[in-house]
Chains A and B, each alone.
Chain A
Amino acid sequence: MNGDSACAEGAISAGCRFFAGYPITPASELAERMSERLPQVGGVCIQMEDELASMAAVLGASWAGLKAMTATSGPGFSLMMENLGLGVMLETPCVLVNIQRAGPSTGLPTMTGQGDMMQARWGSHGSYEIIALAPISPQDIFDLTILAFNLSEKYRVPVLIMADEVVGHMSEKVTMPTIAAKDLVERRRPKVKPGKYLPYKPDADLVPPMAVAGEGYHFHVTGLTHDERGYPVMTVEAHDRLVRRLVDKIRLNRHDIIKYKEFQVEDADIIVCAYGISVRIAQLAVRMAREEGIRAGLLQLITIWPFAEQRIRELSLQAKAFVVPEINYGQIVLEVERCAGDRARAILVPHMGGSVHSPQTILEAIREATQ
C-alpha cells in the first residue's frame, strides 16, 4: 500500500468521517482513497472548489461533531494557511496532511521536497503554536495519522502531517490493526447545561470543552479576539489572555506531545538529526560511519512542532556536532542550531529537492563533523 492510501486508512481507523480536498499532485491519491472509503463507513467526502474552501469545510464539519481531514501539497498548503489560522483561533480539532513536493511555487510537482517545514510552524499570521508530525514510511503515516487525530481532539488544535512525495507514493507493507475505542481520543464535551456553557473557559490543561452545533448550546465563535463567552473583546488584556492560552496549551503540554526515536546515540559524538524520508537515508549513513569507526548516532524527530528543544539541548552536552540533512536549503537546522547553542555545531546537509539525499552525502558530512 502506498503512503497516501495508508494515511487515508489511518484516518478512517481514527474515526475520521469527513474529508474535503482539492486535487493536487502528489496528494490526489489520498483524496481518491477517501472518496472510495468514506461512503462505505457512513462518512462524507467532498471535492471542493479550491483549498481555501477545503480547509473551511473541514472546520465546519468539525464544529458539527465529525473528525475531519484534508490533504494537499505546497501550493494548496499556502492557501490553507488562511483557515488554518481560524482553526487555531476557534480551537478546532482537525488534521491537515501535506504531501510535500519541491517548491517554491509550482516547483517540481511530482517530485519530493521538505521545504514547507517552517511554513508549517509560521505559515498563518499571528502568534500561535501548532502540532506537526513527520512520517517516514507508509506504516508510519498510518500510525501517525491516528496519533494526529488523537492530539487534535485532545488539544483542540489543527494537527499537521508533514509527509513528502516519496513517503506518499512509495509502496510497502502496512499492517492495519483494529484500533480499540479506548485508544481513540474524543474531544471533551461540556458538562454544563446550555445557558451555563462558556465556550472558551478552559479546564486545568488549558483546553476548553467543546460543544458542537445543533445541540442547543447557542454558542458563538469568532476569529476575532474573544473572551471565555466567545464574544469579541478588542482590548490588549483580552488579547494577551487568549494568545497566551492558545500558545501555552501546547507549550506546557509539550512533554505529552513531543515524540522522537534514537538509534545508537548513547555513545555518539556525531548525531544526525533527521525527519521524514531523510531518516531512512540517514540510517544507512550512520551505519556506514559506524563501520568506519566513527561514533555516529541518529535522532529521528517524529514531532516537528513543538520542537524537541530539551532533547537537543541534552544531546548537545555529549555530542560534538549535529548533522542535519534536509530536502530544502536549511530550515529545521536553524532550530537545532538554536538549541545546541555553542555547545555543539549544527551542520546542514541541504538538498534542493526532486530526490532524496544519497547516503554518501550524509556520510561525508558526518566525516567532516569529526574534524
Chain B
Amino acid sequence: MTDTLNAKNHSIEKYLRQDRMPHIWCSGCGIGPAVSCFLRAIDRAEIDPNKIALVSGIGCTGRVAGYVKLDSFHTTHGRAIPFATGLKLAKPELKAVVFSGDGDLVAIGGNHLIHAARRNIDMTVICVNNFNYGMTGGQVGPTSPLEARTTTTPYGNFEPPFNLPYLASASGASYVARWTVLHLRELERAITEAMIKPGFSFIDVIAPCPPIYGRMNKMPLPMDSMHYYQEKTIIRHGADPKEADITLNGPILAGTFVDIERPTFQDQLNHISSKVNAQV
C-alpha cells in the first residue's frame, strides 16, 4: 500500500502540517488512508476548513489531530466526543469531527459515544477500527474478534466484540456506515455524506495494523489485510447493522447502514430557547 500521506498529493497537502512530517505511523498502517479520505472529503463536502474543529483522543489514531492543518485538539483517552460536544454547543457554526480509534472511542470512551448518538449531537465520528490497541503494543480491545490473538489474549480472545455499526445505530446515530481502507472512494464519499448530514454520524473504518495485530493474526504484511478485505467484504447498503458482526477472518459487511432524519440536539435546544425567550 502506498503511503498516501507522505506521497505528493496536491489536493490534501494544504490540509497537512508539512512541518510535522514524517508521521509516526508504521508503514502499511490503515490510519493514513483514512486521513486522506477525510481531507479530500472536506473539499468534496465544501466545508470551510476554518470552521472545522478536529478532536482526537489517545492512541495511534489519536495522533491524527497533530498532523492536520485545522483547529485540532489532541485530548484525553476516551474524551474526544465530550470535548467536541463542548466545542460544538458553544459555537454551533463549527463542524465538529472526532477522529480516533476503536479502543479510545468504544472502550474507555464508550459511554460518551452512545450518549452523543442518543442526543444526536451534530458531529462526525470517524473510528479507525483495527481490532486492537496498537500504540501500547497490541492488547485485546472491545472490537477484537473472538479467538483473535493479542498480547493480552495469548490463547485467543474469549470476549465477544462490539458490532460498532449496530451500537451506533441502536444508540440513535443519524448516519452510520462502514468501509475498509481498501474502499477509498467509497470511504471518501461516506465521510463527505457524514459531514453534510445534520446530527450524529459514525463511520467504522476497518483498518490494518500489520506489525502488531496483523503479525499476531497471520496477516503480517500490509497486502495480507488488503487481500482479506477484497475477498471478504460484502457491500450491502441499507443492510440491518445487526448483521454487521465481525468474526476472525470472516466476512465484513460494508456500506451505508443508516441515513435517517432526526432532530439534532441543536434543533431541540433552539426550540426550547425560543420558547424561553418568548416568555422573558
A binding-site residues for B, Cβ under 8 Å: 17-18, 20, 39-40, 42, 44, 46, 48-50, 52-54, 56-66, 68, 82-83, 85-86, 90, 212-224, 231-232
Contact = CB atoms under 8 A, between A and B. Distances in A.
B17 to A, nearest CB: 7
Given A40-B280, A50-B111, A64-B87, A83 B273 contact: no
A220 B65 contact: yes
Contact of B65 (A20, A49, A212, A222): A222
A20 B86 contact: yes
Contact of A221 (B74, B76, B84): B74
Contacts of A68: 86, 90
B217 interface: no
Dominant secondary structure of chain A at its interface with chain B: mixed
Given A213-B87, A219-B71, A53 B79 contact: yes
Given A39-B272, A59-B86, A231-B66, A64 B91 contact: yes
A276 to B, nearest CB: 29
A214 B71 contact: yes
B220 interface: no
Contact of B79 (A17, A83, A90, A224): A83
A83 B57 CA distance: 12
A218 to B, nearest CB: 5
Interface of B: 17, 19-20, 49-51, 53, 55, 65-66, 69-76, 78-79, 81-91, 93-94, 111-112, 115, 269, 272-273, 276-277, 280
Given A48-B85, A64-B53, A65-B91, 4 more contacts: A66-B91, A213-B53, A218-B50, A222-B65
11 contacts: A49-B112, A56-B76, A57-B86, A59-B75, A60-B83, A61-B89, A83-B75, A212-B91, A214-B51, A218-B70, A231-B66
A103 B118 CA distance: 33
A59 B55 CA distance: 12
A58 B86 contact: yes
Nearest to A39: B276
Contacts of A56: 75-76, 79, 82-83, 85-86, 112
B111 A213 contact: no
B76 A63 contact: no
B173 to A, nearest CB: 16
